[in-house]
Amino acid sequence: MKVLYAIAANLGRGIGWTAENAIREARSCGAEIDTFTLEDTPDLATSAMKEVFFDHRLAEKVASGDHDILHVWNLMGLESIKVAQAKGMKVVVERASTHPDWQAQVLESEYSNAVDPINHVRMNEELELADLITVPSEFAANTYSRHLREKIAVIPFGVDTDHFCPKPQSHDPYRVLFAGDNVLRKGIRYLLEAWESVNTPHWELVIKTNVRLGVHKQNIKLISEVPDMAELFNQADVFCLPTVEEGQALVVWEAMACGLPCVVTKEAGALITDNVNGVVIPSKDPKAIYLALQELVGAPLKRQRLGAAARKLAMQYPWSRYGKTLYEAYEKVGE
């Protein structure tokens, strides 16, 4: 079983971090994997049509290769998928999010020009052609129609629990952490609206993002770069991600591994059970965000209990588990 794994990203960065872990761990299970990434096509890194040009070059790689399976991330392989299937190869499409139609409906209600219509068509066609679709959460899987649901494998992402581990640091203000660059998709507007109800200097909101938010408030701290996210998690009391659309947020796994209680929406795709190993709130609900944070500020023992349970769950999802499940998916689709 020989796999060609393709992603229009650099391994180890952004979504390429997930890909790098997947490749390493699936290889450790015995999968023979070749890769095709932006490192093979560096001239496309800043192209406005990066995915389309990447797909064209990937198709050439597929045509000249001797692989049994093409594993390609959604939007990056429509032409390549057709070439692969014409050769009798099986195709795995990785979709790290909800179904494109669901995603479009949600995001278009949040901001204008959220969806590129050409990309939207490409993503849907790739999913229809795929022999297997991988998604990271049951929430994401349940946004697909029945005929696609039948060829979905839910493979939760993993986390490095050795690096992301509890090392709490003492600090004075009650510190809430948010982290993410696609801030509208991740619900920052609702968190900031909730924060308007905070009228005490003993609360601090730390926002780790590369996006310029134009927020100027004494108890809100903006950070663009940090040397180590694990340290930032350990400087906080609560992690909050009120996302409106997601497949499964890696940053939540990392916060949980650090023993940090998380306040999230179900749309985050996190494996969090309300009041067991975190707090689950409705999406687009600033009042619910504020009330959840307010309850936790006065309940250090509850924060400790939720954080310990979050860490315990994260320990069950190392990247090796992700790689093993992916390898088993390759075996099944290759039968």
Listing DSSP states for 202-256 in one string gives TEEEEEE-SS------TTEEEES--S-HHHHHTT-SEEEE--SS-S--HHHHHHH
**Portions of the chain given CATH number 3.40.50.2000:** 2-158+318-333, 174-314
Distances (CA, A) of 142 to 18, 86, 255, 260, 329: 22, 30, 25, 28, 19
Kindly report which listed range (48-62, 85-99, 138-152, 213-227) carries the lowest average pLDDT score. 213-227
Query: What pLDDT, on a 0 to 100 scale, did the predictor assign at position 193?
Result: 96
> Around Cβ 264, how many Cβ atoms within 10 Å?
27
Q: How many residues does the chain have?
A: 335
Residue 304's pLDDT band (cuts 50, 70, 90): very high
152 CB burial (10 A radius; 0-12, 13-18, 19+) = buried
H or E, element range at 176: strand 174-179
Q: How far is CA 71 from the centre of its chain?
A: 18
Residue 57 has pLDDT above 90, yes or no: yes
Residue 15 sits at φ, ψ, to 5 deg, of -65, -20
Residue 135 has pLDDT above 90, yes or no: yes
| β partners of residue 32 | 2
Kindly report which listed range (17-31, 46-60, 310-324) carries the lowest average pLDDT score. 46-60
Query: What pLDDT, on a 0 to 100 scale, did the predictor assign at position 2?
Result: 97
Distances (CA, A) of 275 to 17, 203, 278, 279, 308: 30, 22, 6, 5, 12
- The residue that leads in pLDDT, 153 or 48, is 153
Distances (CA, A) of 287 to 53, 75, 173, 175, 283: 45, 36, 21, 18, 10
For residue 131, what is the DSSP state?
S
Residue 169's pLDDT band (cuts 50, 70, 90): confident
Domain with residues 2-158+318-333, CATH architecture: 3-Layer(aba) Sandwich (3.40)
Residue 139 has pLDDT above 90, yes or no: yes
Kindly report which listed range (31-40, 165-174, 295-304) carries the lowest average pLDDT score. 165-174
Instruction: Name the nearest CA neighbour of 217 among 242, 243, 199.
Output: 199
Residue 212's pLDDT band (cuts 50, 70, 90): confident
What is the average pLDDT score of the chain?
A: 95
Q: Look up residue 255 and give its amino acid.
A: A
Residue 334 has pLDDT above 90, yes or no: no
| β partners of residue 154 | 135
Residue 138 has pLDDT above 90, yes or no: yes
Kindly calculate the radius of gyration of the chain based on its CA atoms and give it in whole angstroms.
20
Do 4 and 71 form a contact (C-beta atoms < 8 A)?
Answer: yes
Residue 322 has pLDDT above 90, yes or no: yes
Query: What pLDDT, on a 0 to 100 scale, did the predictor assign at position 217?
Result: 82
- Please identify, in words, the CATH class of the domain defined by 174-314: alpha beta
Residue 58 has pLDDT above 90, yes or no: yes
Query: What pLDDT, on a 0 to 100 scale, did the predictor assign at position 280?
Result: 98
Q: Which two tokens stand for residue 37?
A: 């990434």
Residue 214 has pLDDT above 90, yes or no: no
Please tell me the distance from the alpha carbon of residue 78 to that of residue 230, in angstroms, as a whole number: 37
Residue 272's pLDDT band (cuts 50, 70, 90): very high
Q: Any residues with CB less than 8 A from the CB of 253 and at least 6 apart, and which?
A: 157, 158, 159, 164, 270, 314, 317
Average pLDDT over residues 79-97: 98
